Amino acid sequence: MRTVACIVQEGFAPFEFGVACEAFGLDRSEDGIEPFDFRIVTAEPGPVASNLGFSVNVEHDLSFAETADIVVVSTQPKSAWRRVDTRVARVIRDAAERGAWLLSVCSGAFVLAASGVLDGRRATTHWLYADTMARMYPQIDVDPDVLYVQDGRIITSAGTAAGLDACLHLLRQELGAEAANRIARRMVVAPQREGGQAQFILKPLPESAGLSLAPVADWALENLHRDLTVELLAGRAHMSPRTFARRFKADYGTTPAAWLGRQRIIQAQRLLERTEWGLDRIADECGFGSAAVLRQNFARVLGTTPTAYRARFACRDEPSPATTAA
């Protein structure tokens, strides 16, 4: 059983803390998902005050985090950004050295930064605090525009809902795409928002326009095997290609090509997990055209091969429409 330690400190934000509890703390055995051994830890067990006037009683000290597979760091108030508890900093450095996952939500990135594990790495935090982090830690490549960043086995995320995106991103790597999608469905959230999407999405078109691109996106997901050009998608949206591309970027925070590329990878992950199809067939089904292109995209995005991914996450014992498709 994988172990997850969530570190909380005085002044934590309840929502961001709850994101970690929701993602890793619930027993989802009924959904066929292996549970985590999840524990909330702190330097001094006992009541830990939130930033909203109530406390949680934390029973575990940091010793559990010293051997955890995943260490999650919740938010930290501004007053504590420069004085991280030395005991917490040591646990974080040790986790990085032994190759455990480290994940911070929102201003929790300041705890990682103060611990020294982000030096020379790319990272993010809430856009309101990104300039402050860049000034405090010039040795960190701070990206203020993205939802989350993975650099090695360290994941930093922007504020609030972006923390959930980061958790699902980690879950997808630990449990596979199908399990992560099931968790997302239970949460009633989108199964994947790419980390490179903008933290906040501008709406240059008036709301009165009333033109949702969701039907076009849904159609694209059902037709990933096709050559989905901007011109084709724009035609289905009854827009010019330029207007469609601008509107898509405004609504989804990324370009149509980048979005489609990520959706094709996700579909390939699911087919590798749930079918025995060969790589050529999966490549055709997902719109990659050839097994070679599929391998290239897997290596670039996931840092592994389709064969290695299937060996780790295959779940062929589960019924799936894909296994019986023509």
Q: Tens digits of per-residue pLDDT, 154-206? A: 999 998 889 999 999 999 999 998 898 889 888 888 666 665 555 654 444 43
pLDDT tens readout for residues 150-164: 999 999 999 888 999
Residues 95 and 153 in one domain: yes
Do residue 78 and residue 110 come from a single domain? Answer: yes
What is the CATH classification number for the domain harbouring 234?
1.10.10.60
**Co-location of 113 and 138 in the same domain:** yes
Query: Per-residue confidence at 256, pLDDT binned at 50, 70, 90?
Result: very high
What's the pTM?
0.79
Q: What domain range is 68 assigned to? A: 3-187
| Dihedral class, residue 230 (left if φ above 0, else alpha if ψ from -120 to 50, else beta) | alpha
267 and 234 within one domain: no
Give the end of a domain, one of 236, 253, 270: 253
- Same domain flag for 59 and 161: yes
Boundary-marking domain end, from 218, 253, 288 = 253
Q: Does residue 17 sit within a domain?
A: yes
Average confidence (pLDDT) over 40-69? 97
| pLDDT, averaged across the chain | 89
Do 76 and 170 fall into the same domain? yes
Give the pLDDT confidence of 117-140 residue by residue, as tens digits.
999 999 999 999 999 999 999 999
Q: What was the pLDDT predicted at 185?
A: 85
- Is 99 inside a domain boundary? yes
Is the same domain home to 139 and 280? no
Shared domain for 65 and 181, answered yes or no, is yes
The count of structural domains within the chain is 3
Residues 139 and 212 in one domain: no
50 lies in the same domain as 70: yes
Q: Angle at Cα 150 formed by Cα 285 and Cα 229, nearest 5°?
A: 35
**What does residue 121 show for φ and ψ, rounded to 5 degrees?**
-110, 165
- Cα–Cα distance for residue pair 281/288, rounded to 1 Å: 10
Q: Do 127 and 262 fall within a single domain?
A: no
- Residue 201 domain flag: no
Q: Percent of the chain having pLDDT more than 70?
A: 90
The model's pLDDT over 261-316, given as tens digits with 9 standing for 90+, comes to 989 999 999 999 999 999 999 999 999 999 999 999 999 988 899 999 999 888 74
* 36 in a structural domain: yes
Please, what is the Cα angle at 230 between 227 and 233, to 5 degrees? 80
46-49 and 55-58 strand pairing: antiparallel
